[in-house]
Amino acid sequence: MRNFLILLFIGNLCLAQEAKRKLVWEENFDKPTLDETVWNYELGDGCPNLCGWGNNERQIYTTQNHEIEDGKLIIHAKKEGNVYSSTKITTKDKKVFQYGRMEARAKLPIGHGIWPAFWMLGQNISQVGWPKCGEIDILEYIGREPQMVFTTLHTQASHGNSINTKKTKIPEIEEGFHVFAFDWSKDKMDFFVDDVLVYTFQPEVKNEDTWPFNNPFYFIVDVAIGGNFGGPAVDDTIFPQDFIIDYIKVYQ
């Protein structure tokens, strides 16, 4: 009972904080096709500059592996013949944000080798490179570790490695829709799944190498297949799989 009351208090506190904020942007996928004034496609396999997108991933990204249906974005991860395909979209140079509450309501694909993510990169990546630009992984899920949600920050100080990270077991995470969110201020980041706090990132020393998060960031939504994190083995019997995003919202 005590733990339940603590979680209830935290949830109510989050809702109270959210009520004080203003909804500054939302993507409800209420148009027949993806709004290209907001979203960019990343296409291919990353070659020649970043083959396998830097992680030995197997998929090719296309403009054909998604659809909008009933106000939801559905990304289809497929294998046709020897080719894995998926969709990756970003808001780079179109919608960028600094501080606030960012959240998405989504339903995960499942199966060994699948790797959906909802994440952000620093808008200055073209100038300073990765990981100096910073990376915020609000949601990562890998099918080879069922019931687990990964939340990770990448910085120059960690040389891009996943040392600022939390893995949270949520037994029902593969069932239905869940809200993945984080509250971002100049001092810290709090990450939530369904309004339950799962991770706080607040380094004692904040400089451009440990805290590259005092700059605007853009959103990325994708489903990778295989790779160093999602694989390397892939169960081909799982395909097709769908990553369904109901909405993305930003409060400030």
Q: Which residues are catalytic?
A: 135, 140
If residue 61 lies in a helix (H) or strand (E), which one and from where to where? strand 60-61
What SS3 string covers 74-127?
A: EEEEEEECCEEEECEEECCCCCEECCEEEEEEEECCCCCCEEEEEEEEECCHHH
Distance CA 178, CA 96 (A): 23
The DSSP bridge pattern shows strands 96-97 and 100-107 to be: unpaired
The type of residue at 151 is: T
Q: Which residues make beta-bridge pairs with 192?
A: 181, 197
